[in-house]
Amino acid sequence: MQKVKVEEAVGMVLAHDLTKIVPGEFKGAAFKKGHIIRAEDIEELKNIGKNHLWVVPLGDGRVHENEAAGRLAAAAAAQGLSITKPREGKANIVAVHRGLLKINRSALAELNQIPDIAVVTLYDNTIVEPEQIVAAAKIIPLTMDREELERAERICGRAGPVIATRELFRLKVGIVVTGSEVYSGRIQDRFGAVLKAKIAHYGGEFLDLQYAPDDTDFIQGRIQGMLERGAELVLISGGMAVDADDVTPQAIARSASEVVAYGVPLLPGAMCMVAYHGATPLVGVPACAMYNQTTILDVIMPRLLAKERLTRADLAALAHGGLCRQCEVCHYPVCSFGKS
Ligand SMILES: Nc1nc2c(c(=O)[nH]1)N[C@H]1C(S)=C(S)[C@@H](COP(=O)(O)OP(=O)(O)OC[C@H]3O[C@@H](n4cnc5c(N)ncnc54)[C@H](O)[C@@H]3O)O[C@H]1N2
Ligand code: MOO
């Protein structure tokens, strides 16, 4: 920061707000901190009694906070996101379409180790709506070092988009409800309606619901039937634990070309199975998902509808934040659950 005569301040950055007062009419900032002084400002500055100013010079090596924020946001955001005009050293990154927010967390951490910048985001893997602010790029001082900004841009260039949204597809979802007590009509099905509601909530297309007793071959046949009819995701409910009649994991494993995991570090939902038949996910949904409002299903369903191929490492990562608080009134997804 340096003190200069107003006439010599043109092109330099004002270091603080300058207040103007006209009794009974106006009191406020005539010039805002960060303003780049223009030749036409000189008269007005003198009118409010300023012959000298505290300024930050904008030499070759420094970039104004607004230009830097805009460049940083543009470098970090994928195409398909919009960026607001930078103000006070901050540019917001805004969703244009509904989608799944994807954050390159290692690149984000690397970026934020650069002095004088802050790039902040909503959580990875959450659904975002059009016009929602999903991230912001902020510059801490009034000007920042050009080389440091270029370093940030290089990180983004190398890593690909640090902030992106993925399309959520309207996949055809088949439901197989297992349980001999339901199949025989001994009790009424309560699970099917819950799963249908989840499909609707997350924007899938309900294909069909079929029932099966606790019989491995029978359940396998039902899964096969769903696949033959074009299911792009199959949810198989019940029979997922350790009782003698719990054969659903076996039936899913036999139907699958890959079992990613039986057992996921997240509660409620630890007895879930994630498997694939080719590219089609087969998900064994434990009975907790019939009882609890928010479970593993809410955490993985958006990712499956975004056609992400989940890996064992993806599921293992759910452990951190994987314990539901069981709040009296559920505010999911605005909570820590599933935010690994
Ligand atoms: N000894 C252990 N017991 C349990 C374990 C365990 O690890 N060791 N895990 C618990 C967890 S966690 C969960 S979650 C549940 C998983 O239950 P299942 O998916 O095996 O469900 P079922 O045994 O088939 O049924 C449990 C209960 O829910 C009723 N049910 C099931 N489907 C329907 C339906 N479509 N409509 C209405 N009611 C349904 C069923 O009749 C049973 O009452 O296991 C814990 N136990
Ligand atoms: O682990 Mo069960 O599958 O929550 O509640």
pLDDT at residue 57 in the model: 77
2 within 8 A of 58, measured Cβ to Cβ: no
What is the reported pLDDT for 33? 84
**Block residue for tokens 């920061």:** 1
Helix-strand-coil percent breakdown of the chain, rounded to 5? 30, 30, 40
pLDDT band at 15 (very low <50, low <70, confident <90, very high): confident
Q: Which residues pair with 4 in a beta bridge?
A: 53
pLDDT band at 34 (very low <50, low <70, confident <90, very high): confident
At residue 16, the pLDDT reads 82
Bridge partners of residue 53, in order along the sequence: 4
- Pairwise CA distance, residues 102 & 161, whole Å: 9
In the prediction, which pLDDT does 2 show? 87
DSSP category for residue 35:
P
Helix 191-202 to helix 296-305 angle (10° resolution) is: 40
318 lines ligand 1 (CB under 6 A): no
Q: Is 270 in the pocket of ligand 2 (CB under 6 A)?
A: yes
Maximum distance among all Cα pairs of the chain, rounded to whole angstroms: 91
Distance CA 233, CA 278 (A): 11
Q: What is the mean pLDDT of the chain?
A: 96
Q: What's the pLDDT score for residue 59?
A: 75
**Reported confidence tier of residue 56, pLDDT bands at 50, 70, 90:** confident
Integer angstrom CA distances of residue 89 from 37, 62, 148, 149: 16, 14, 16, 13
Beta-bridge mates of residue 280: 277
Ligand showing the shortest atom-to-Cα distance for residue 264: 2
Give me the pLDDT at residue 17, please: 86
Q: Which ligand is nearest to the CA of 237?
A: 1
State the DSSP H helix or E strand holding residue 201, giving kind and residue range, or none if neither.
helix 191-202
What are the structure tokens assigned to 157, written together? 């260039």
Cα(271)–Cα(123) distance, rounded to whole angstroms?
A: 25
pLDDT in tens, 247-297: 999 999 999 999 999 999 999 999 999 999 999 999 999 999 999 999 999
Ligand nearest to the CA of 285: 1
Q: Are 266 and 163 in contact (CB under 8 A)?
A: no
At 314 the pLDDT is 98
Residue 212 CB neighbours (<10 A): 27
Q: Over 90: is that where the pLDDT of 340 sits?
A: no
* Å from CA of 239 to ligand 1 middle: 6
How many A from CA of 295 to the centre of ligand 2? Answer: 8
Phi, psi at 319, each rounded to 5°: -55, -45
What is the rounded CA–CA span in Å between residue 129 and residue 303?
A: 15
* Atom 5 of ligand 2, residue of closest alpha carbon: 268
Domains assigned to the chain = 2-56 (3.90.105.10), 62-166 (3.90.1170.30), 172-319 (3.40.980.10)
Going from the Cα of 137 to the center of ligand 2, the distance in angstroms, rounded, reads 39
**CB contact burial 259-289 (16+ within 10 A = b; e otherwise):** bbbbebbbbbbbbbbbbbbeebbbbbbbbbb
313 Cβ below 6 A of ligand 1: no
Full-model pTM: 0.90
Q: How far is CA 194 from CA 79, 174, 189, 282, in A?
A: 36, 13, 10, 17
